[in-house]
Amino acid sequence: MTKLEPVLGMEEILDYLPHRYPFIFVDRVICIDRNEGSIVGLKNVTVNEPFFQGHFPDKPIMPGVLIVEALAQVSGILASVMKGIKPKVDGYIYYLAGADNTRFKRPVVPGDSIFLHAYVTHERRDTMKFKSQAKVQDILVCATELLVVARKI
Residues annotated as catalytic are: 55
Tally of helices (H runs) and strands (E runs) in the chain: 3, 7
User: Which residue(s) pair with 153 in the sheet?
Assistant: none
127 Cα distance to chain centroid: 16
CB atoms within 10 A of CB 1: 4
What is the C-alpha separation between 134 and 142, in angstroms, rounded?
Answer: 5
Backbone torsion region of residue 103, taken as left when φ is above 0, otherwise alpha when ψ lies between -120 and 50, otherwise beta:
beta
What is the C-alpha separation between 68 and 89, in angstroms, rounded?
Answer: 27
Tell me the three state secondary structure of residue 37.
Answer: coil
What is the C-alpha separation between 19 and 30, in angstroms, rounded?
Answer: 19
